Structure 1
Amino acid sequence: MRTSELSGPLAPRLRPVSPGALQPVDAAEAADGDDDLDEVELAGLTLDTMFWTGRRRLGSSRVTDLVVRDWRVRAGSLVDSVVERADVVALSAAESGWWNVEVQQSRIGSAELYDAVLRNVHFVRCKLGYVNLRGANLTDVAFTDCVIEDLDLMRATAARVSFSGTRISRLELSGSTLEDVDLRGASLADIGTLEGLRGATITLDQLLEIAPALAESLGIKVE
């Protein structure tokens, strides 16, 4: 029997992110281009669009107080970096890679992250609208004290993922593969496909809340 079966799901294995000495980047370089940005600081920028091409990488860097309407970083990557107090209306980052990243106190209206890979990623006190993680691969990912309007994990693969103190208005898990996914710290208003919960851990109170919907999905009459 696995350890998690005896003592609960395995927690995400998170490592601290500590970018070193950083060089500032001006708005023009941050807004457009395909050159990798390593050991840089993007601070206090207000932009209409950020259009990154050619699998652009942000590595060992810090983004602080960024305000942007449309950030496009398809197939790009964020590595060993911290994002703080970002305000992004639309993040288009399908097929992107996130390795050892912290996103803190940020607001993202919509995040297109389908087919993305997230490893050792921590969202802290973030407000997220629609988060599209369809077909994504998540390992060691934590959401702490976040608010998520719509979390779409359809056909995603997730291992060691937690949601401590996080409110999720709608959760879709159809076709997902879950292992050590800890939903006990989450407030769940609506779960789209209950069968997708296979592999997740919930509390007894959460089970009682979804019991009527679960019975209906199984064709059970409760009288």
Structure 2
Amino acid sequence: MTANRTPKIVAPMVDELRLPELTDASALEIVAAGYYEARRYVDADLGGRELSSVSVSECEFLGLEVHAAQLRNVSIAETRLERVSAPELEAAGSDWRDVHIESSRLGAVDLAEADLRGVRITASKMSFVNLRAATLRDIRFENCVIDELDLTLARADRVAFHECTVRTLILDQARLQHFDLRGAELSRVRGLTSMRGTVLTFHQAVDLTETFADHLGITLAD
């Protein structure tokens, strides 16, 4: 007799940030293609600025306004971002490594074709997050509300949600592994054929019964 084996669920590996001694700096110094290391910025306003290809390493932003800033192809590593505000954020093709984002309010966020590894997002609200064709590894969402999360064509490995609300989740042609949705309250899921590699609770699966039935052409009747 063969024993049933429950597949092992691998949690995201997100390290704690250990920043070096930081130098207080002004956001006015930040320009496109510049490199900034071991700096602390307080109430930085980068709204509407052209800042493509900026590189930031081992920094801290305590209060950050980036509405309509052009952040395509930026690189952010080992950095803490607190109280980020941006009704609209353009950061397609960006690179995020070991980044913590906390207590932020974001509207439409364009992270298409971005590369995110070791990222933790806590206590934040996002209206629309475009992660089309992005690569995600070791990502953790905690106490977040996301109106729409689009992972079309994305590759995601070791992603988890804890006490989150995701109103619409789009997974068309996504490739997922260890994509743990047990801590997410889901309202709508699109791209059911790409759900292989996700983890759901029994109750979540029951809640999505009508969605699964519609997808498979099944009529539910008493």
TM-score computed with the length of structure 2 as normaliser: 0.93
- 2 CA distance for matches of 1:11 and 1:68? 31
Q: Deviations over 1:121-156 (max 9, x none)?
A: 000111111100000000000001100011000010
What's 1:16 paired with?
A: 16
The AA in structure 2 aligned to 1:167 is: T
Q: 1:89 — aligned with what? A: 87
Match of 2:218 among 217, 220, 223: 220
| Secondary structure of the structure 1 residue equivalent to 2:147 | strand
Contact 1:159–1:181 under 8 Å retained in 2: yes
What residue number does 2:42 align with?
A: 43
Structure-1 separation of matches of 2:46 and 2:131:
25
Residue type at the aligned position of 1:151: L
Residue by residue over 1:148-202, the C-alpha shift from the partner in whole angstroms, topping out at 9 and shown as x without a partner, is 0110000100000001111011100000000000000000011122222111010
| Superposition pairs of residues 75-86 of structure 1, within 5 angstroms | 75-86=73-84
Deviation at 1:68, TM superposition (A): 3.1
Kindly provide the CA deviation profile for residues 52-96 of structure 1, in whole angstroms up to 9, marking residues without a partner as x: 13x221100001111232222111110010001111222211111
Residue 36 of structure 2 aligns with an amino acid whose one-letter code is L
Q: Which runs of 5+ in 1 are unaligned?
A: none
Question: In structure 2, which of residues 104, 107, 120 is the aligned counterpart of residue 106 of structure 1?
Answer: 104
Quickly say closer, same or farther: Cα 1:18–1:71, change in 2 above 3 A.
farther
1:188 to 186, 202, 206: 186
CA distance 1:19–1:51, shift in 2 (3 Å)? farther
CA distance in 2, matches of 1:152, 1:35: 30
The 5 A counterparts of 1:21-170 are: 21-30=21-30, 32-53=31-52, 55-170=53-168
Q: Which runs of 4+ in 1 moved over 4 A?
A: none
| 1:184/1:211 CA distance change after superposition, 3 Å | same
Equivalent pairs, count: 217
RMSD: 1.4
Identity over aligned pairs, percent: 29
Three-state SS of the structure 1 residue aligned to 2:67 is strand
How high is the TM-score relative to the length of structure 1? 0.93
Q: Name the aligned partner's letter for residue 29 of structure 1.
A: E
